[in-house]
Amino acid sequence: MTKAEKAANIHLILDDLYPTVPIPLDHTDPYTLLVAVLLSAQCTDVRVNQVTPHLWEVTDKPEEMMHVDVEEIRQIIRPCGLSPRKSKAIKELSRIITEEHSGVVPQDWDALEALPGVGHKTAAVVMSQAFGVPAFPVDTHIQRLAYRWGLSTGKNVENTEKDLKRLFPEESWNKLHLQVIFFGREYCPARGHKMLKCPICSVYGRKSLLRAEEKSLK
């Protein structure tokens, strides 16, 4: 079986398990999504969704957020971790969006990635989920699954993103990256994972990993 055939079969499994997928981070517009994605770095989506309503009580507009004291922002978002860095980024990106983009989150890769605290993965999430632009945001969780399934070497998220984009049709990227995330949470966790019982790993998993698990059970 070629890698392309394996990818196609995995895609069918994911479509069957997750015909529709909600966006995990609660938001009302591109700006609130951008801030939520920034907060999700090294934090769970559940925790972010618990914290952001308190932040929006202060304001959910960049032109107002730029005037909020950074310490007030930090106290609110502290449960998300990395609050000193994230609070400064939220305040500064709000200023840049207001002053340089007329208060509108730019629908542009370079402009997004130039914002404080916004890397390629964050920009990819916003481009795909807020603007519908084809993108395949890859984090360490998707990187792990792509390696387990033998779709990528797993050396880094950049290479994994390129590998997955080559294997899957562009029109599927925005939905597919969410399907992989939901599958990873339900069937393919980082710890305590049983490859032999996983709907995808048990059939299409990397042979060396499957042999290692089989050996450990003997």
- ∠ CA 200-190-170, rounded to 5°: 55
- Residue 179 has a CB neighbour count (10 Å cut-off) of 20
Tally helices (H) and strands (E) across the chain: 13, 0
Catalytic residue among 121, 162, 175, 207: 121
Distance of CA 169 to the CA centre of its chain: 19
- Rounded to whole angstroms, how far apart are CA atoms 117 and 75? 18
Closest CA to 188 of 1, 63, 13: 13
Per-residue CA distances from 179 to 50, 100, 158, 218 (Å): 23, 35, 19, 33
Say whether 139 is catalytic: yes
- For the chain, the 3-state helix, strand and coil shares in percent, each to the nearest 5, are 65, 0, 35
Catalytic residue among 61, 86, 88, 139: 139
Given a contact cutoff of 8 angstroms between Cβ atoms, the answer to whether 143 and 47 are in contact is no
Say whether 218 is catalytic: no
Residue 206, judged by CB atoms within 10 A of its CB (0-12, 13-18, 19+), counts as middle
- Residue 140 has a CB neighbour count (10 Å cut-off) of 12
Active site residues: 121, 139
